[in-house]
Structure 1
Amino acid sequence: MNTKIELEKFAQHIEERTIRGIATGTAALIRSGAIEIGSQLPSVRELAEILGVSPATVSAAWSQLRKQKVIAGTGRNGVWVCGNKLNPHPVRFERIGNFGKHIIADLMLSVPDPQLLPNLAQPLLQGIQVDNLNSYQREPIVPQLEEAVSQSWPYQAAAFLAADGGFDGMHSTLQTLIEPGSVVAIEDPTAARLLDMLDNINAQVVPIACDDEGPLPYVLAEALHKKPAAFIYQPRTHSATGNSVSEQRWQELARLLENTSTLIVEDDGIGELSRHPVYSLGSRFPDRTIHVRSFSKAYGPDLRLAVLSGPKEMIRQIQSFRNFGAGWSSRILQQALAWLLTDAETQQRLEEARVIYAQRRESLRLALANRGLHLAEKDGLSLWLPVPSEQFALITLAARGIAVLPGERCRIGGQQHIRVSTSILLPEQVDTIADALIIAVSGI
């Protein structure tokens, strides 16, 4: 059988001539054994011609399979089959990994300190008093929680929806409102799991560089020429860099987005642990802004709660998508969170937690400054350190019993960094960790 006949037979099995159709059709042939591991696939140009689609469509399909480790290779050397299991999974998030038992300071994840979280005994007792307990009614959010979050929401939202944590809210939003293969502008760096989610829908990601005040306007302006379906950013304390969008930057971003139809998705992941106000674009564009606030870091990850706001029709669509799975978030947990949000003692402890987290971050920042490495005073649960080589930094720190997050998990391009969590940093660790970080950032 010559190459032409093999190409034609291959094309006959691709029924849907779209990015997703080509990718899933090819994967089905590989799984069934019709295409064996090690086989070379048709070139992008040849397959595009016989399918009657653009080369960009085939290239995007190959990119989707390449991300799932089903195919490998590119360019003149061709593309070949290297696996037979199409198993979507969050590659960046899962690659965070385990550095081994010798690690004495695990500073990879910016997680809340359990000692600074509220006691859930009383709020859970309040939770079981919620209306419609054990009902299968799929209400978007319990009235008590909607009323409680409305008090501090950054704009007058048309509709609210409870989700099982911030990333569940973001995942539901992206899966529902963004078509596979769409152009999406997202700040760079960002949360690793958001990049995994965009990979999963085969989005064409356009990175938006940032400075201390948030996404750079001139970079966003350039990206808007590509007519992105969505713009995703963190409106206050950034989970990696600690930057926070200023009021002036918010106004500049609003002017740029004024004459577009781009969906705006705001990921407020640190939520109420942030020391900064939220300047939400929802106050300017309520008809196309989805604002997602997580309550995990401030009130506890096992509450598994976030709240989304947006226009009624978009929130209805997201709620409808959730019917594929859980359908609704636990009313008990929603009622418990509503109680926490309105309890004076809890709010006082939350303010104390903000101060302690800031002190921990500042103690490491000052220790580095005393050793000649000067970083800006910011907010958040981590430090974002530029390094000549992420690999060298990781190996150097691991050898000293310290694990940090490589910046590649969070960034699309740009300079190499490491993220060092400070949220559970012990005072007696500060000098040892600062000494190791100085060596790591030297690259020598």
Structure 2
Amino acid sequence: MKSVALAIEQRTPHGIASGISRLITTGDLAPGDRLPTVRELASDLGISPATVSHAWQTLAAAGLITSRGRSGSFVRSLPREWLPRRYQELDGAQDAALDLSRGTPDPALLPALGPVLANLRLHADTASYQQKPDIPELHNLLRSTWPSPVESITVTNGALDAIDRAFAVLVRYGDRVVVGNPTFAPFFDLIDSYGLEAIGVPVDEYGMRPSEFAAALGSNPSIVLMQTRSHNPTGSSLSQARADELATILKRSRTATSTIVIEDDHSGAISSAPDLTLATIVPERVLHVRSFSKSHGPDLRIGALGGPRALVDQVVARRLLGPGWTSRTVQAILHALLTDPVAVGQVESARVVYGERRAAIVTELARLGVHLPLGDGINAWLPVAEERAAIVQLAAAGIRVAPGALFQLGDQPPHVRVTVGVVPVESAQFVAGALAAAAVER
């Protein structure tokens, strides 16, 4: 175990954690490797076992090591192989005092299901396997609230399911997909699973940057996959001017003449940004996806896909050969949540609270010299000097964040994603202080 001790330059909890982290990063310590015991390493370094124990706790909170009781501590292996790769790497330690790595809504801000369920009078049956997949009440409500006139809408099991279904009928192996850089990490896993090539376009506070977007269209992509508001991980949202500019670039492109835009609006009901779409200019080229997971509950697994009838019908027809449709019982629950005054008020209150929480963190960071766009949604994108070091440093403060590299293509400046939407306003000062200490030099 002397080799581990030799890699430790500073005999403090942070120094020990940083030294072990470097060994893991370089591969000198591989997943599954057993670490020296606390007493062994303390003896090698000539320090108190309590100091090593503190370092071990920091590494565990950062998701780098795991304890197996009397068997000792080990370098964490990739968890649960049934998860796609980036989901695996997002699935870290569960014991952080404040877990800001998940990108999930605050359960306390979801609307209560009990009152709505008590008033539903449904049976989980269907008259025919060939009847329309969507219940009319929900379909009509969605159509009336869509960001632009739409030919066809179908209900899906959330946003990622809708995007996957669209890919299944629109892409072929080797096709190119234009995607924001950074973007939602599982998008990359989905693109890889279809054997596609991702073309990254930088994202600023208003969406994809126009000049790079135009250049990416020169590769004749099959799909442009973009997030319209509350962008995950950055929190940016399309402005009207940017939406019009991107749509015009697409319309005038001589190479991307058959490219379809898939718009992901995953946090609409809790977003403060306007509901925008490129379909106001190129309606025949846009599939718009709306999800209710962030606002009404991830376990409802419900969203909607809307666009040209010819494209949506392909998705519906292919889906009937698999899952068939989204449970009409669940559709009825969502319709009730979208129309019940109490539930509507709860979601509106959540939108306000999320905005206040985000603003509190951004304001505190600015006071400490770290300036982020106000943005929208539940996530923030924090620039750091070195990703792994920042994760370890924040773990030492009891805070877990997500590694930014999972959300990026290629060699990009290091960041971490922080789910600020679950941080109460009264905790903003403490959290912002820890984030500022881990951020890039100001």
TM over 0.5: yes
Structure 1 residues 289 and 128, CA gap change in structure 2 (3 angstroms): farther
Deviation at 1:133, TM superposition (A): 4.1
- Distance in 2 (CA, whole Å) between partners of 1:390 and 1:366 is 23
Where does residue 423 of structure 1 map in the other structure? 421
Structure 1 residues 443 and 394, CA gap change in structure 2 (3 angstroms): farther
Where does residue 89 of structure 2 map in the other structure? 95
Structure 1 residues 301 and 88, CA gap change in structure 2 (3 angstroms): closer
Deviation at 1:345, TM superposition (A): 2.7
SS in 2 for 1:257: helix
Q: Percent identity?
A: 35
| 1:393 alignment partner AA | A
Where does residue 383 of structure 1 map in the other structure? 380
Are 1:148 and 1:342, in contact at CA under 8 Å, matched by a contact in 2?
A: no
| 2:420 alignment partner AA | T
- Contiguous gaps of at least 5 residues in structure 2: 1-80
Deviations 1:279-318 (A, max 9, x none): 2112222222111100111111121100100222211221
Return the match for 1:210 from 190, 198, 203.
Answer: 203
Structure 1 residues 100 and 292, CA gap change in structure 2 (3 angstroms): closer
- Contiguous gaps of at least 5 residues in structure 1: 1-86
Where does residue 397 of structure 2 map in the other structure? 400
SS in 2 for 1:237: coil
Where does residue 78 of structure 2 map in the other structure? none
Are 1:128 and 1:332, in contact at CA under 8 Å, matched by a contact in 2?
A: no
SS in 2 for 1:319: helix
SS in 1 for 2:284: coil
- Distance in 2 (CA, whole Å) between partners of 1:127 and 1:407 is 43
- Distance in 1 (CA, whole Å) between partners of 2:371 and 2:168 is 41
1:155-166 correspondence runs (5 A): 155-166=148-159
- Distance in 2 (CA, whole Å) between partners of 1:190 and 1:175 is 20
Alignment of 1:108 onto 2:87: no
SS in 2 for 1:287: helix
Structure 1 residues 443 and 152, CA gap change in structure 2 (3 angstroms): same
1:329-344 correspondence runs (5 A): 329-344=326-341
Deviations 1:397-443 (A, max 9, x none): 11222110111111113221111111221345333322221221147
Where does residue 122 of structure 1 map in the other structure? 115
Where does residue 6 of structure 1 map in the other structure? none
- Distance in 1 (CA, whole Å) between partners of 2:427 and 2:190 is 35
Deviations 1:65-89 (A, max 9, x none): xxxxxxxxxxxxxxxxxxxxxx995
Are 2:184 and 2:232, in contact at CA under 8 Å, matched by a contact in 1?
A: yes
1:126-141 correspondence runs (5 A): 126-129=119-122, 133=126, 135-137=128-130, 139-141=132-134
- Distance in 2 (CA, whole Å) between partners of 1:131 and 1:398 is 46
Where does residue 147 of structure 2 map in the other structure? 154
Please, what TM-score do these two structures have when normalized by structure 2? 0.76
- Distance in 1 (CA, whole Å) between partners of 2:94 and 2:206 is 37
Are 1:209 and 1:219, in contact at CA under 8 Å, matched by a contact in 2?
A: yes
Deviation at 1:139, TM superposition (A): 2.4
Where does residue 313 of structure 1 map in the other structure? 310
Structure 1 residues 127 and 325, CA gap change in structure 2 (3 angstroms): farther
Are 2:170 and 2:222, in contact at CA under 8 Å, matched by a contact in 1?
A: no
| 1:369 alignment partner AA | A
| 1:191 alignment partner AA | F
Where does residue 9 of structure 2 map in the other structure? none
Root-mean-square deviation (Å): 2.1
Are 1:106 and 1:403, in contact at CA under 8 Å, matched by a contact in 2?
A: yes
- Distance in 2 (CA, whole Å) between partners of 1:128 and 1:194 is 38
Return the match for 1:200 from 193, 196, 208.
Answer: 193
- Distance in 1 (CA, whole Å) between partners of 2:393 and 2:211 is 37
- Distance in 2 (CA, whole Å) between partners of 1:124 and 1:162 is 20
Structure 1 residues 126 and 148, CA gap change in structure 2 (3 angstroms): farther
Deviates more, 1:373-382 or 1:339-348: 339-348
Deviation at 1:128, TM superposition (A): 4.2
The aligned length equals: 357
SS in 1 for 2:167: helix
Deviates more, 1:353-362 or 1:336-345: 336-345
Are 2:272 and 2:355, in contact at CA under 8 Å, matched by a contact in 1?
A: no
Where does residue 29 of structure 1 map in the other structure? none
Are 1:155 and 1:280, in contact at CA under 8 Å, matched by a contact in 2?
A: yes
Return the match for 1:409 from 403, 406, 409.
Answer: 406
Where does residue 435 of structure 2 map in the other structure? 437
Deviation at 1:249, TM superposition (A): 0.6
Structure 1 residues 182 and 88, CA gap change in structure 2 (3 angstroms): farther
Return the match for 2:239 from 237, 246, 250.
Answer: 246
Deviation at 1:176, TM superposition (A): 2.2
Are 2:358 and 2:374, in contact at CA under 8 Å, matched by a contact in 1?
A: no
Structure 1 residues 352 and 428, CA gap change in structure 2 (3 angstroms): closer
- Distance in 1 (CA, whole Å) between partners of 2:331 and 2:286 is 23
- Distance in 1 (CA, whole Å) between partners of 2:302 and 2:153 is 13
| 1:199 alignment partner AA | D
Deviation at 1:353, TM superposition (A): 1.0
SS in 1 for 2:212: helix
Return the match for 1:261 from 236, 258, 262.
Answer: 258
Are 1:242 and 1:380, in contact at CA under 8 Å, matched by a contact in 2?
A: yes
